[in-house]
């Protein structure tokens, strides 16, 4: 038995999240179980429930970390100065590449379905908004006469669209294969959308 005070609550918390990430990466959401996570960090199920409210809680926190990683990669790309169109294409490529390299964890964000009454935790919502903000910033120079509301709307539309392509392709519900064709599809959506969106 793990001896008392071998690890603080915080340490156990972190260890569990990392273990869960490893399991989810290899076996997907359906392969993730409380007992597996517990045994991987050298504790038993009970301990997990001292640190997380339940499995949903743990999954939500793993997803939050994944989203955070994705955001950081996008921010890094977005920081390099580029023409607006190139910036959006680069963001889209980064998104797709992340989803492609971390398919299991990325899918988990969307596979995990919330209870009917459940409201997303604030940090999670903020992550999403931060991501949209990157797209909005890149979009703004292309629509100088457009209102903030229109820019926000466009960013959401375009990004949800890219997300949809990514999702259908990587979950193999679409009859396409390979990361290149995903990129191509996303480029098609982006280029045509920007052509229509751009003013002049």
Binding residues for a second copy, per CB under 8 A? 28-30, 107, 109-111, 113-114, 120, 125, 128-129, 153-154, 156-158, 160-169, 171-176, 184-186, 188-189, 191-197
**Residue 193 partner contact from a second copy, DNA, none using kind-dependent CB cut-offs of 5 to 8 Å:** a second copy
Q: Could you identify the residue written with the tokens 């998104």? A: 95
CB 97 within 8 A of CB 169: no
Q: At its nearest, how many Å lie between a second copy and the CB of residue 18? A: 23
Q: At its nearest, how many Å lie between DNA and the CB of residue 34? A: 4
CB 151 within 8 A of CB 140: yes
Decide if residue 43 touches DNA (CB under 7 A).
yes
What is the three-state SS of 97-166? HHHHHCHHHHHHHHHCCCCCCCCCCHHHHHHHHHHHHHHHHHHHHHCCCCCHHHHHHHHHHHHHHHHHHH
**Residue 179 partner contact from a second copy, DNA, none using kind-dependent CB cut-offs of 5 to 8 Å:** none
Distances from the Cα of 177 to the Cα of 117, 165, 168, 183, 185, angstroms: 36, 12, 10, 11, 11
Specify the 3-state DSSP secondary structure of 80: coil
Please identify which residue in 25, 47, 126, 137 interacts with DNA, judged by CB under 7 A: 47
CB 156 within 8 A of CB 132: yes
Q: CA angle, 91 as apex, 188 and 106 as ends, to 5°? A: 95
Q: At its nearest, how many Å lie between DNA and the CB of residue 45? A: 4
Q: Which is nearer to a second copy, 59 or 169 (CB)?
A: 169
Q: Which is nearer to DNA, 24 or 96 (CB)?
A: 24
Please identify which residue in 49, 124, 193, 197 interacts with DNA, judged by CB under 7 A: 49
Helix intervals (H) in 30-54: 34-40, 45-51
Decide if residue 135 touches DNA (CB under 7 A).
no
**Residue 32 partner contact from DNA, a second copy, none using kind-dependent CB cut-offs of 5 to 8 Å:** DNA
Count the site residues for DNA by CB under 7 A.
25
What residues line the site for DNA (CB under 7 A)?
1-7, 9, 12, 32-36, 42-47, 49-50, 54-56
């Amino acid at each position: 038995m793990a001896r008392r005070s071998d690890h603080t609550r915080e340490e156990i918390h972190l260890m569990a999240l990392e273990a869960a990430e490893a399991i989810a990466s290899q076996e997907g959401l359906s392969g993730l179980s409380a007992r597996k996570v517990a045994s991987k960090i050298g504790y038993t199920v009970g301990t997990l429930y001292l640190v997380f409210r339940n499995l949903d809680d743990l999954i939500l926190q793993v997803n939050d970390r994944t989203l955070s990683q994705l955001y950081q990669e996008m921010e890094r790309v977005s920081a390099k100065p580029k023409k607006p169109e190139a910036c959006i294409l680069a963001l889209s490529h980064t998104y797709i590449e992340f989803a492609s390299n971390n398919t299991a964890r990325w899918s988990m964000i969307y596979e995990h379905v919330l209870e009917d009454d459940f409201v997303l935790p604030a940090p999670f919502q903020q992550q999403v908004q931060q991501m949209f903000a990157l797209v909005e910033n890149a979009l703004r120079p292309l629509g100088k006469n457009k209102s903030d509301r229109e820019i926000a709307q466009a960013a959401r539309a375009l990004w949800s669209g890219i997300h949809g392509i990514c999702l259908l392709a990587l979950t193999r519900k679409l009859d396409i294969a390979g990361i290149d064709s995903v990129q191509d599809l996303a480029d098609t959506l982006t280029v045509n959308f920007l052509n229509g969106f751009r003013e002049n």
